[in-house]
Structure 1
Amino acid sequence: MITVRFTLFGGVSARTGDRTTEFGPTRPGALLGALLADAGQVVSAEELVDRVLGDAPPPRARAMIQTWLTRLRQTLPGLIERDRDGYVVRVDPLEVDLHLFRHLVEEGRTAEALPLVQGDLLSTVNTSWARQRRADFADELLAARLGHVDERLAGGEHADLVPELHALAAERPLDERIAAQLIEALHGSGRAAEALRHFKVVRARLADELGAEPSRHLATLHRRLQAASAPRQLPAAPKPFTGRALELAELDQAPTGVVVITGTGGVGKTSLAVHWAHQAAERFPDGQLYVNLHGFGPSGAAVSPGDALLRFLSALDVPRAQVPHDLAGQSALLRDALADKRVLMVLDNATDTEQIEPLLPRTPNTHVVITSRTALRPAHAKALPLGLLPPDDARELLASRIGHDRARAEPDAVDTVVRRCARLPLALAVAGARAATQPEFPLAALADELADLDAFADDDDVTADLRSVFSHSCKALSPAALRLFRLLGLIPGSDISLAGAASLAGLAQHETAALLAELARANLIDEPEPGRFTCHDLLRDYAAELALDSERDEALNRFLDHLALTGVEAGVVYTPSRHRPSTPDPAPGVVVGRFGTHEEALAWLMTEHPALMAAMPHGTAAQTWLMGWSLADALDRQARYRDLLTSQQLAAAAVQRLDDVDALGRTLINLGRSLSRTGRPDEATAALRRAFDIYDGNPAGQAEVLLNIAMLCPDDRIGEAMEHTRRGLALFEQCGDEYGQANALTGLAWGHGKLGEYARTVEYAERAMRMWRAMDHLIGQAEAWDNLGTGHLGLGDHVKAVEAFTLSSEMFRLGGDLKLEAGACEQLGDAHAAAGAAEQARQAWQKAVELRTRAGLPADHVRAKLQAEGE
């Protein structure tokens, strides 16, 4: 028996084997759809007239129905039968896509059901009955889709669902179930800040349009995500931690405000602060912020207030675009971000009041704990001086490291070690680690080796003789580990990676990893996060004292080579369109990293950013300028403008010592960009004009400078910007640089749009588009479509404008540029509005508001368009 399968989605059709009959917008097709919609049930003749011919049928409607039934019986014999006063289609309902869809959903097989919906139900039938059935099924379909989304969220498919839910949320901006699903998907895919921002968008939309608050479910989800997204920056709690009961009680009893823990180096200030912070964390449900300010570390390692502020603002999910460039503005923004939050802030190892004052939010519910060797006196702060450990606590700390049974067996030796370590936790930790690695040695032997420390306990400056304890521990190291420890004292930054340490030592990474593990067991270094190593600044100073003159220069040069050459690899992957600089061969033993993706390259650049900044003043001219080149794009896009300027100033000073005109020109371009970012346009222009002169005889270099000068021109100097861009285009054409030509053509298209010369906008955008397509350059194509949309809209061709802005917004989305995607969506709304498509305009503008909010950009002007359209 031949099976006939029917579709009602996207039009009525019948398929027999390989043959498909499409009925299209015909009356027989409408009649068949009217019967199939209730397959197996009798439909009266009157109902068929209403379904097929509408509310006002012609006089001979019944006869017309009979004629169409005859045609259907001829096309599909044996299918339609007369039954009492009506007609019935004799078919298994599961052979009709609509009924199969419902059956699969009821059985919990929604994933199989959804692909059946290939278009609107009965799309070729335009009667009130068909329209109502479509509307009813749309609700049914939405419920099935959302149920399936819940299943997929439960299965962990958060990232895959984000695009689909964004589209659904744009279609139904007031649907709280969709909003909750999108928020959960964003959070589950690691985009917690976007999730919380979307909640704010939905809450504002509900208030503005419905005068309502979010549902209990949505509000509960928001509170759960807020708690999960709160910053938890505290380092691991120190283990073991002993004593300090009085100080812990004082910290517990201190009112919310500022507490400054002061004391000599190695006395345990950080351990006390971090231990108490973990104990008190529940009192601060909105998060705990921590930064090691490295106030007493090596030169260049201290964290600037601005860098610390950026770390805190990032942890609080403040969008980068909202962060001002000046220190006062960043400090004010931190106060705003913490205004209604209960947060604990730990500022560790501060050097002076100037370093910490911009970081103090002075908000009612923010509690700040500061540690410093200096007796800092910020306003209204409580001082908590920290002395040496009491004898009993010092003995307990040593016992916890060497084992209580061993300590009880040799109490006199324990007392001697404690006395000779001056009851300093750092000294006890190092000495205890040495003893723990040699459990077969009597503890008395350790005490005898420390005999030269008798005068130590009565010394006013107890840290001066800590090196004696360190020396004792270093004697137990293998020669290779001791050599690595000495070399670690040379690095200019505060921490180092495994690859960096391997380069420093000139060893393979697996050998270096074993030596680092030996140093960690001796308590001479720490591994605060996987793959990164640091040590107490007193230990670093001691290590530097041990370094041999014969090994200093080569070791430091290898480390700087590692940073410079790995930085170039990261910079090229991060911005593939940049011209790769020429690099020297690495010194023997240097590890040069490689990167597979844009994300890996950016992660390395931002992780090593402090090390690179600290290393630049110590490098050779070539190393310094390569490090500056590596940082330029990443610091610019991450809005680290002060560091961008500093790095390019150092690079510019270094590159002038090289006989490399191209390197000097590129560095001056980067310097000009950094000066413009920091509000110094005249100096930026001067740097770029100098670069132009340096590139004399190099048309591609001069052209790049001209495009950068054009970007400095404000909107009231568009004509001047256009002239620079035209000159740049001519030079790019002269040397055959297609990437440069496409960039220049894109700039000219944009400029003509600004001037209202829309035909020229289209002309230049189409030229640029051909070149971007040939290079398969996504963002370039997106910008060309954006310019084409501007041109077509200005010329009154709304259909082409809508198409162009739609493609532009999609390409910007794929390229991950929220700001440009938001601009394209806004202009898409403008094009729809110009074409009289009010609902489509509203949806596009709403999407633009959402994107601008996610990017931290102001959106009031777009909201004004929505409000005006609503009126």
Structure 2
Amino acid sequence: MSGRAEATTVITVRFTVFGGVSARVGGTTTEFGPTRLGALLGVLLVDAGRVVSADDLVERVLGEEPPPRARAMMRTWLTRLRQTLPGLVERDGAGYVLRVEPLEVDLHLFRHLVRSGRTADAVRLADAELLSTVDTPWARQLRAGFSDELLAARLDHADARLVRGEHAALVPELRALAAGRPLDERIAAQLIEALHGSGRAAEALRHFEVVRARLAAELGAEPSRHLTALHRRLQAASAPRQLPAAPKPFTGRAVELAELDQAPNGVVVITGTGGVGKTSLAVHWAHRAAERFPDGQLYVNLHGFGPSGAAVSPGDALLRFLAALDVPRAKVPHDLAGQSALLRDALADKRVLMLLDNATDAAQVEPLLPRTPHSHVVITSRTELKPAHAKTLPLGLLPPDDARELLAARIGHDRARAEPDAVDTVVRRCARLPLALAVAGARAATQPEFPLAALADELADLDAFADDDDVTADLRSVFSHSCKALSADALRLFRLLGLMPGSDIGLAGAASLAGLPVARTGSLLGELATANLLDEPDPGRFTCHDLLRDYAAELALEGERDEALHRLLDHLALTGVEAGVAFTPTRHRPDTPRPAEGVVVTTFGSREEALAWLVTEHPTLMAAMAHGTPEQTWLIGWALADVLDRQWHHRDLLTSQQLAVAALERLDDTDGLGRTLINLGRAFGRLDRLDEAAAALRRAFDVYEGNPAGQAAALLNIAMLCPDDRITEAIEHTRRGLALYEECGDLYGQANALTGLAWGHIKIGAHRRAVEYAERVMPMWQAMEHVIGEGETWDNLGTAYLGLGEHGKAAEAYARSCALFRRGGDLPLEAAACDRLGDAHAAAGDAGQARRAWRRAIDLRSQAGLPADLVRAKLLRLQAEG
């Protein structure tokens, strides 16, 4: 729980009506229990200090149809109560009064605390049902009225906790309240705030849509102005803001900025030579124009002119954009055309700016173009891309005055004014290229005591663009000048950074590349950043312009290249294994070699840390596989297999496993080859290439000869490929897999196989046999504390019982599976189980329970971003029949 700890208030209460009725007098507590005497005291305590008539006492204690001698009975109980609590119960006219201070009664103290704003103390006080031992119409009505008081206090308290920032801690409580009161807009607003404040913006916005749909369907109403305003505010706050930091300083380009300002929504392509400032112009303008695009700004560096293998594929860029727009993975198709169409749908009514930086050709950008009325795309490229209906904006060299201003902004205007000739020389020798001016300016800024003329003379005496074609020579001259000022270790690190296979690198990766301690490497990276030879776009991630990296690679010494690259790939492979194990602890850890000297191997304390590393390093790991030794390549493929599958990067999953298989074919590692062939089969299956999937899995089975657990895993994966018309074949593969798992004593494998057999027998209508398999596997999952496995087994039991016509057992089983999937945090599985729970209640003739289960299923499917039309159709049929 976040926020400040609440102060604990010590409350002295002499009388209670929450839970059982009790009285504490003189240090002695009397519990009255479910007695008439307790009921009488409870009635008087509710109206402490006020007269209650004799008739009201009879009705409240004995009900609306009291026995004939009710008044006499009441007098007897009053006498006994006076004896128990001497001096407190008095006769007053035609009634009786309990002479106590109201704040000595927990109910009245509760109300006082609420009025005083001490809702935390009030809610803690009302921790049991009001007058729980009294069951008369009056008591029931009193409890119903008080439940609204208590709810209001809880919601007041929730408001206070939201102000204190306790969003994540509030989500479970508010979700439970919302499930019980789905049309309560105050609860809905608080849950939306809590979800958004705990980093679950997509869930927050989807819950608003759920509430809006339910209000329309059940009340024919729209959300209140408060809820609608909250939705608009959170929508704006949740919009993706992916632009890199605005370049500082930025000067000039007034003509080009005006053209960008005046261009209508569509596509603009900024073209020009490397280092001319295309990205700086695009990013500067994008920040300036951001208010025109309140629904967000999307950015991707496509690395079209980076090292081989570093270019971002259209599919990967689409997945990044869809994730930024909170499109659930379950809705994302496998094919590029489907993903492109989904992006258009997601942006259909949004005003979004998209910046596609460093594109290589039209084929790379065309699938990313939304072509929607309110979206606007800016592309930068060294080539003249010509997407349909795009405006081209050529970018030439900085005008001389702008180039001088850019250099002056970096070295200081006073210094520039003092040496105007030297400024002109530097500008000329930097070819008026912003990249070269930035590097040269950084060099000058680090040596303010040097005359600028001396620094200008250090540059090669080249007349930039004398023949309009020697930009690279000018840049190398400037880069060489800046490198001369580096320390020996920083220059060595700069040379080695040219070898990195991806577009950026982490601190541990850079340390491994250099073979230096992490702290020392961090200092050297800082020196390179100060010299403007390196950028740190995100904390701990370092990159540099591809022209700088090309230059660095040219400087790398022959004797240091191979060892440095091997150390970096060792870091990626071995850290990847650590991340893979932390991400999926049930996977069998592969054998790994000792790291080379100087390699940093990072370990992870949680699944979330491992996932963050794998996602960040995904492009680098993919690029690295082509450069590694066979052992490094297959270990990287192993590390990527699960995360690429779960993140829906199925094309990269296929590529990585194909490379890993090719590497393992050069190694004597049958276990590694077998498990990688299973991953390859899974990748083919995800892409609906079923024949190739089956071939890979059959080969895995053959490779695993003599390894029963490996062959069993291959058989279970083959079974999952079987369509519905080949279920008996799937059952036979699973049965053979179970026998092999039993042979080698693999309990986890046995549980998977038994669960598969229960499901398979359900599919062929053998429900009694399915129950037997489910009951056999249930204690195994429970012993392993495998929540999802246990949930799937209860789900299978529910379906089997439903098939047998045992509707009560089916409903109970589905209810258990719902609870387990909720514990496991799997919304799609919980939604499916709730849907089937509704089926079971409907089959049993309980329309009310069916309606509740189906509504819950619709809510969950909406939260997960899944279609709910089929469940809604069931609700409509039920309403029509009722």
Decide: shared fold, TM above 0.5: yes
**2:559 partner amino acid:** S
Alignment-derived partner of residue 477 in structure 1 = 486
Alpha-carbon distance between aligned partners in 2 of 1:235 and 1:858, rounded to the nearest angstrom: 35
Mapped partners of 1:249, 1:191: distance in 2:
39
Deviation at 1:722, TM superposition (A): 2.0
**Aligned amino acid, residue 321 of structure 2:** F
In 1, Cα distance between equivalents of 2:588 and 2:877 = 48
Distance in 1, Cα, partners of 2:114 & 2:803: 48
Q: Which moved more, 1:66-75 or 1:603-612?
A: 66-75
Deviations 1:48-94 (A, max 9, x none): 22223333334333233334445545665555433221222344433
Q: 1:165: which partner in 2?
A: 174
Identity of aligned residues (%): 80
Note the 1:350-749 alignment, pairs <5 A. Answer: 350-454=359-463, 456-749=465-758
Q: Distance in 2 between matches of 1:818 and 1:321?
A: 11
- Alpha carbons of 1:787 and 1:32: their partners in 2 closer, same or farther (altered >3 Å)? farther
Counterpart among 749, 771, 780 of residue 789 in structure 2: 780
* Map of 2:6 onto structure 1: none
The whole-number CA distance in structure 2 between the counterparts of 1:4 and 1:356 is 71
* Map of 1:860 onto structure 2: 869
User: What is the alpha-carbon distance in structure 1 between the residues aligned to residue 219 and residue 620 of structure 2?
Assistant: 52
CA-CA distance at 1:834 after TM superposition: 4.8
Q: Does 1:21 align with 2:31?
A: yes
- What are the superposed Cα offsets for residues 684-738 of structure 1, whole Å, 9 maximum, x if unpaired? 1111111111111111111111111122222333322222222111111111111
Match of 1:553, SS state, is: helix
* Alignment check: 8 A CA contact 2:358 2:381 kept: yes
User: Separation in 2 of the partners of 1:722 and 1:42?
Assistant: 76
Name the stretch that deviates more: 779-788 or 583-592.
Answer: 779-788
Q: Which residue matches 1:106?
A: 115
In 1, Cα distance between equivalents of 2:36 and 2:878 = 40
Sort the Cα spacing of 1:668 and 1:218 in 2 relative to 1 into closer, same or farther, 3 A.
Answer: same
Q: How far, CA to CA, are the matches of 2:107 and 2:764 in structure 1? A: 54
Deviation at 1:395, TM superposition (A): 1.0
| 8 Å CA contact retained: 1:345, 1:369 | yes
Indicate the SS of the match to 1:346: strand
Residue type of the partner of 2:734? T
Shift of residue 826, structure 1, vs aligned partner: 2.5
Match of 1:85 among 75, 80, 94: 94
Shift of 1:646: 1.1
1:656 CA drift (Å):
1.2
Residue by residue, what CA displacement relative to the aligned partner does 1:569-613 show, whole Å, maximum 9, x if unpaired?
Answer: 000010000000001111111111100101000010000000001
TM-score by length of 2: 0.95
Aligned-partner SS, 1:454: coil
Q: Distance in 2 between matches of 1:716 and 1:445?
A: 82
Q: Over residues 609-662 of structure 1, what are the superposed CA-to-partner deviations in whole Å (9 max), with x where a residue is unaligned? A: 000011111111111111111111111111111111111111111111110010
Q: Within 2, Cα distance between the matches of 1:29 and 1:79?
A: 15
CA contact (8 A) 2:431 2:474 kept: no
Give the structure 1 partner of residue 200 of structure 2: 191
Query: Per-residue CA shift, 1:133-179, capped at 9, x if unaligned?
Result: 12111111111111111111011110000011111111111111111
Deviation of the 1:788 alpha carbon: 3.6
**Amino acid of the residue matched to residue 560 of structure 1?**
L
AA aligned opposite 2:630? A
Change (3 A) 1:832 1:678: same
SS at match of 1:9: coil
The Cα shift of 1:843 comes to 3.2
Change (3 A) 1:63 1:603: same
Residue 787 (structure 1) shift = 3.0
Match of 1:314 among 320, 323, 335: 323
Determine if contact 2:464/2:471 at 8 Å carries over to the other structure.
no
Instruction: Indicate how the Cα distance of structure 1 residues 561 and 423 shifts in structure 2: closer, same or farther if over 3 A, else same.
Output: same
1:22 CA displacement: 4.6
SS at structure 1 position matched to 2:666? coil
SS of corresponding position for 1:671:
helix
Please say if 1:200 is aligned against 2:206: no
- Report the Cα offset of residue 14 of structure 1: 4.8
Partners of 2:286 and 2:508 lie apart in 1 by 33
Match of 2:820 among 811, 815, 818: 811
1:118 Cα deviation after fit: 3.6
Please show how residues 269-284 of structure 1 align to structure 2 within 5 Å.
269-284=278-293
2:167 maps to 1:129: no
1:295/1:303 contact within 8 Å kept = yes
1:771 aligns with 2:780: yes
Match of 2:355 among 346, 350, 375: 346
Q: 1:799 deviation in Å?
A: 5.5
2:817–2:830 CA contact under 8 A, matched in 1: yes
**Distance of 1:794 and 1:76 partners within structure 2:** 62
Q: Name the structure 1 match of 2:152.
A: 143
Which residue in the other structure is 2:8 paired with?
Answer: none
Report deviation, 1:215: 0.5
Query: Is the contact made by 1:669 and 1:708 (CA closer than 8 Å) also made in structure 2?
Result: yes
RMSD: 2.0
Contact 1:402 1:432 in 2 (8 A): yes
Is the counterpart of residue 217 in structure 1 residue 226 in structure 2?
yes
How big is the shift at 1:238?
0.7
User: Which residue number in structure 1 is paired with residue 57 of structure 2?
Assistant: 48
| Residues in 2 aligned to 1:457 and 1:448: alpha-carbon distance in whole angstroms | 19
- AA matched with 1:576: P
- Contact 1:259/1:384, CA 8 A, preserved across alignment: yes
Partner of 1:240: 249
Secondary structure of 1:369's partner?
A: strand
Match of 2:857 among 837, 848, 870: 848
1:434, 1:473 within 8 Å by CA — same for their partners in 2?
yes
Which blocks of at least 5 consecutive residues in structure 2 are unaligned? 1-11
Partner of 1:32: 41
Aligned in 2, Cα 1:167/1:869: closer, same or farther, shift over 3 Å? farther
Tell me the residue number matched to 2:3.
none
Inter-CA distance 791–86: structure 2 relative to 1 (3 Å threshold) = farther
- Cα offsets for 1:361-407 (capped at 9, x unmatched): 11111111111110111111111111111111111111111111111
Amino acid at match of 2:525: L
How far does residue 347 in structure 1 lie from its aligned partner after superposition? 0.8
Q: Which SS does the other structure have where 1:452 is aligned? A: coil
Which of 135, 146, 161 is matched with 1:152 structurally?
A: 161
Q: Which structure 2 residues correspond to residues 261-272 of structure 1 after superposition, within 5 A?
A: 261-272=270-281
Partners of 1:753 and 1:791 within 8 A in 2:
yes
Gap runs ≥5 in structure 1: none
Correspondence for 1:227: 236
Distance across 2 between alignment mates of 1:637 and 1:748: 24
| Cα pair 1:14 1:20 within 8 Å, conserved | yes
* Cα deviation, residue 792, structure 1: 4.7
Q: 2:464 & 2:167 partners in 1: Cα distance? A: 64
Deviations for 1:827-851, whole angstroms, at most 9, x for unmatched residues?
Answer: 3334444555544443332222122
Alignment partner of 2:391: what SS?
strand
Tell me, in whole angstroms, the C-alpha distance in 2 between the residues paired with 1:497 and 1:658: 30
Moved more, 762-771 or 677-686: 762-771
* Aligned residues of 1:110 and 1:148 also touching (Cα < 8 A): yes
In structure 1, distance between residues paired with 2:750 and 2:86? 67
Cα distance in structure 1, aligned partners of 2:788 and 2:678: 22
